[in-house]
Amino acid sequence: MKLKILLTSALLAAVVSADPAKIKAKWFEADITPDIGTLIAGYGPNDVSVAKYDNLLASGLCLNDGTNRILLVSLDLLGMDYDSIKRVRKQLSAITGTPEDAVMVSCTHTHQGPHTRMFNKNAALSGEKVFNESPDSVDMRYMERLYQRLDAAARKMMEGEWGEYVIGYHSAQCYENRNRRYTTEDNHATFNAHRPILHKLTTGIADHEVGTVALLGPTGPVYVVGNWAAHPLTAHAPGLGGLRISSDFPGFYRRYIESETGAKAMFVQGAAGDLVTKDDECGNAAAKRVGEAVAMQSIFSIISMNRCRERFAIQQPRVGAVIRSFKSRLRKKWRDFYGSDTATFEVQTIAVGDVCFVGLPGEVVCELGLEIKWNSPFARTFIAYVATGYTGYVTPMNLMAAGGYEAQSHRFASADTLTMVKTAQDAMIDLRRKIFPEADTEDDPYPDNQQPPIVNMPGMYKQWKWSK
C-alpha cells in the first residue's frame, strides 16, 4: 500500500512538473490607418473624418505545430465583403504557407474607420465600386492600400525565425457590455441604443465572457489574443467624437496589455450583434475604461495560465482548420440585392488544441454566439465577428418575431439561422476529429470528464485520475 502511494505521488509530481508541449509562432502588426478627410463608416455613408485619435491596426498571429499552420488576423475595420476576405486569405496563404481555409480574417467592427464593405443596393447591383462616384460603396483606393500593407507585414514576419512557446487559454467575465434591446411581455422589441434614459430597461441576454489565449515565455506572456463581444461605439461621441479615426476600445485593450505585460496583443471581436458597451457613445474616456477593464480580465487569466501551466496550458497544441458552407433562402427584400432567391454563406473554424475560433458571416447577435459555444466539442470556443463576409445582422427566429433594429437588416430566412448553428457544430466536430483522430473513439469528446467525482475541486481531477 505504501509503495502504491509513493508511486502515485511520483506520477502526480511528474504530471504537475512536466512541461507542456510548445508551439512555433510568428506575428505581425501593420498600420492600416486611412488619411484624415476619408469618409468613415460611422452611422452612414457621408461622415468625413476630421481628426485622428489613434492608429488602426492589422494584427496577425501564425501558429505552426510542425505539420500544420493557422493564421488568425484581426483588422480595425467595420467589416469586409466576402470577395475582399477571400482575396486576403489567398494573399496571406501564399506568403505564409498557411492553407487558405486556415487563414481567418476578422474585423473589430470599429465605426471610425474607412468604408470597407458595400451596403448600397444600387452600387451592388451595378457592380460599381469606384469610391468617388459611389460614396456609399467600398473605398477601393483604401482597399488597395490595405492589401499592400498586409502583404508587406506578412513578408516581413516570414523573414524572422519561428519562436517556440507554451500556449495557454483561460476564460473570465467582464460586465462592461449589455444588450441594447428591450422586449415587452408580448414579445415586441425596441432599440434603445440611442435612448440613454432607457438603457437600464434593456432585458436582452449578454455574453460577458472574456476569452484569452496567450503565448507564454519563461517569465510571462509574449503574445495575447483577447475575445469579447460589444459594438465598438464607445468613443463615437456626438459631433467630433464620431468624426475621429479611432480603433475604439479594442485599441485601449491592446495598449493596456502591452504596457503592463510587455506582450504584443490582438483583439478579436465576439458575437456583438446586439451588444453595446456601458456608456457607449460617451467618448474616449469611456472607451479607455471599457478597453482596460476587458484587458484586466485577460491579465487575471494570464496570471492563472502562467502560475498553473499544468492546468491551463494546452498539452497538445495541434492546429487545424475547416470551412463549411450553408445555403439559405433570402428574405424577399434582399433577393434583388443578391440577384437570387438563395445565397451561400460560410462558417470557418480554426483551432489550436482545445480552443476553437468560429468565424461567422455578418453581425451575429450574442444569442447565436452563445448557442454555438454551447454546441461546441472544444473546451473553449470563441466567436470571430464578420470573418466570412459582411451580411448584415444575423438573428434567431424569435428575435425576428419580436422585430427591432437587428431584425430589419437580417438577410436570410430566419428559420435558416439554425442551419448556420448546425453548420458551425458540424465543422467543429469535423475539425476536432481532424486534429485528434486518435480520440475519435467515443460519442463524447472528453469521455474521461464523465467519470470524476461530482465534487471536483481545482487540481483534484488529476489526482483522482492518477490514483485510480
Answer yes or no: is pLDDT of 360 > 60.
Answer: yes
CA distance 314 to 18: 12
314-337: average pLDDT: 92
Answer yes or no: is pLDDT of 376 > 90.
Answer: yes
Q: Over the chain, what is the mean pLDDT?
A: 87
Distance of CA 430 to the CA centre of its chain: 20
Which runs of E-coded beta strand occur in 361-432? 363-364, 380-384, 393-394
Say what the pLDDT of residue 188 is. 82
Say what the pLDDT of residue 12 is. 41
Q: Pick from 343, 326, 325: which is nearest to 334 by CA? A: 343
Answer yes or no: is pLDDT of 36 > 70.
Answer: yes
Task: Report residue 19's pLDDT band, with 50, 70 and 90 as the boundaries.
Answer: low
52-76: average pLDDT: 97
More confident residue, 456 or 317: 317
The residue count for the chain:
468
Answer yes or no: is pLDDT of 378 > 50.
Answer: yes
Answer yes or no: is pLDDT of 418 > 80.
Answer: yes
User: What DSSP letter does each residue of 24-80 carry, written as one string?
Assistant: EEEEEEEE-PPPTT-EE-TTSTTEE--EESS--EEEEEEEE-SS-EEEEEEESSS--
Say what the pLDDT of residue 215 is. 98
More confident residue, 125 or 362: 362
Cα angle: 366, vertex 425, 334; to 5 degrees: 60
CA distance 65 to 21: 10
More confident residue, 66 or 412: 66
Say what the pLDDT of residue 125 is. 38
At CB < 8 A and 24+ separation, what contacts does 458-462 make? 458/311, 459/311, 462/12, 462/15, 462/16, 462/310
Say what the pLDDT of residue 159 is. 97
Lowest mean pLDDT among 132-141, 268-277, 287-296, 377-386: 132-141
- Grid coordinates in use for 5? 502511494
Cα angle: 256, vertex 258, 264; to 5 degrees: 135
Cα angle: 184, vertex 189, 331; to 5 degrees: 140
Phi and psi dihedrals of 439, rounded to 5? -90, 0
Say what the pLDDT of residue 389 is. 92
**Burial bucket for residue 300 (CB in 10 Å: 0-12, 13-18, 19+):** middle
Answer yes or no: is pLDDT of 205 > 80.
Answer: yes
Task: Tell me how far CA of residue 310 lies from CA of 160, 307, 423, 432, 458, in angstroms.
Answer: 30, 9, 33, 22, 12
Q: How does pLDDT run across 431-465, given as a tens digit for each residue?
A: 999 999 987 766 777 766 666 655 555 655 555 55
Q: How does pLDDT run across 148-187, given as a tens digit for each residue?
A: 999 999 999 999 999 999 999 999 999 999 998 888 788 8
Answer yes or no: is pLDDT of 131 > 90.
Answer: no
**Burial bucket for residue 49 (CB in 10 Å: 0-12, 13-18, 19+):** buried
Contacts of residue 361, defined as CB under 8 A and 6 or more positions apart, other chains included, come to 82, 345, 346, 347, 386, 387, 388, 389, 390, 391, 394, 420
Is 295 within 8 Å of 252 (Cβ atoms)?
yes
Say what the pLDDT of residue 454 is. 57
Answer yes or no: is pLDDT of 30 > 70.
Answer: yes
Would you report the helix, strand and coil content of the chain in percent, each value rounded to 5? 35, 25, 35
Is 379 within 8 Å of 354 (Cβ atoms)?
yes
